[in-house]
């Protein structure tokens, strides 16, 4: 049990690191094999326009472009079985290392829906965590767009994990969990 608590605490502290004041005496970053230390996330949607609207209007992403993957390239790379598809690129900020969310749909080959009632029901990526500056403003933006928080809404994180932090969860149009983390209101 202590190992699980320690791993959870490390994960949460890492997630909340952007909320802590910067340490001016931080050691220089070690050489990394990565050109970018944030990841891009690809999300297959049942209706890409509904999902785009959700991630723009509710979460705050901005659409920055799109591109089409030809069927042959999809098949040759292993991404698809030959279906061409368009990727709609959304960014969470304007800097070059900002998180990218790549939305796509396959109308002629719809995927199977996972069991998304709770994060433990299906293996694989279960939710997106997005760190915000103001949870009240994020909830107000969601409500303005007809999206309600899950369960009790803004929930404080226990001080033993991270002091002064809270979370709120929403579901996107396909039922995926979207967790917003920020300073406790």
Please report the DSSP string for 30-96 in residue order. PP-S-S-SS-EEEEE-SSHHHHHHIIIIII--EEEEEEEE-HHHHHHHTSSSS--EEEEEEESSSST
Collect all residues with Cβ–Cβ distance below 8 Å to 95 and sequence separation of at least 6.
Answer: none
For residue 102, how far is the Cα from the chain centroid? 11
Residue 55 lies in a domain: yes
Q: What is the pLDDT of residue 24?
A: 45
Each residue's pLDDT expressed in tens, for the chain with a length of 185 residues: 333 333 333 334 444 444 544 444 455 556 887 778 888 999 999 999 999 999 999 999 999 999 999 999 888 988 889 999 999 999 999 988 899 999 999 888 878 888 888 888 888 888 899 999 999 999 999 999 999 999 999 999 999 899 999 999 999 999 999 999 999 99
Residue 145 lies in a domain: yes
Residue 76 lies in a domain: yes
Q: What is the pLDDT of residue 109?
A: 82
| DSSP 8-state secondary structure symbol assigned to residue 9 | H
Residue 34 lies in a domain: no
Residue 29 lies in a domain: no
Q: What is the pLDDT of residue 13?
A: 41
Q: Which of 35, 183, 184, 178 is nearest to 116 (CA)?
A: 178
pTM of the model: 0.77
| Three-state secondary-structure class, residue 138 | helix
Q: What is the pLDDT of residue 141?
A: 96
Q: What is the pLDDT of residue 133?
A: 95
Q: Which domain holds residue 56?
A: 2-17+39-183
Q: How many domains does one find in the chain?
A: 1
CA distance 65 to 68: 11
Tell me the CATH number at 80: 3.10.180.10
Q: What is the pLDDT of residue 28?
A: 55
Residue 45 lies in a domain: yes
| DSSP 8-state secondary structure symbol assigned to residue 161 | T
Q: What is the pLDDT of residue 8?
A: 32
Q: For tokens 């959304």, name the residue.
A: 90
Residue 22 lies in a domain: no
Residue 128 lies in a domain: yes
| Three-state secondary-structure class, residue 144 | helix
Q: Which two tokens stand for residue 24?
A: 């001016």
């Amino acid at each position: 049990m202590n190992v699980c608590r320690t791993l959870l605490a490390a994960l949460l502290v890492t997630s909340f690191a952007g909320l802590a004041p910067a340490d001016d005496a931080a050691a220089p970053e070690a050489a990394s094999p990565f050109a970018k230390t944030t990841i891009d996330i690809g999300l297959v949607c049942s209706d890409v326009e509904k999902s785009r609207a959700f991630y723009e209007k509710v979460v705050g992403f901005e659409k920055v472009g799109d591109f089409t993957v030809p069927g042959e390239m999809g098949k040759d790379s292993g991404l698809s079985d030959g279906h061409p598809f368009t990727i709609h690129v959304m960014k969470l900020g304007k800097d070059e290392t900002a998180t990218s969310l790549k939305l796509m749909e396959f109308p002629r080959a719809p995927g199977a829906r996972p069991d998304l009632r709770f994060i433990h029901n299906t293996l694989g990526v279960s939710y997106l965590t997005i760190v915000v500056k103001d949870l009240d403003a994020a909830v107000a933006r969601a409500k303005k767009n007809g999206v309600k928080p899950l369960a009790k809404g803004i929930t404080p994180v226990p001080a033993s994990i991270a002091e002064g932090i809270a979370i709120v969860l929403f579901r996107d149009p396909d039922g995926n969990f979207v967790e917003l983390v920020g300073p406790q209101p």
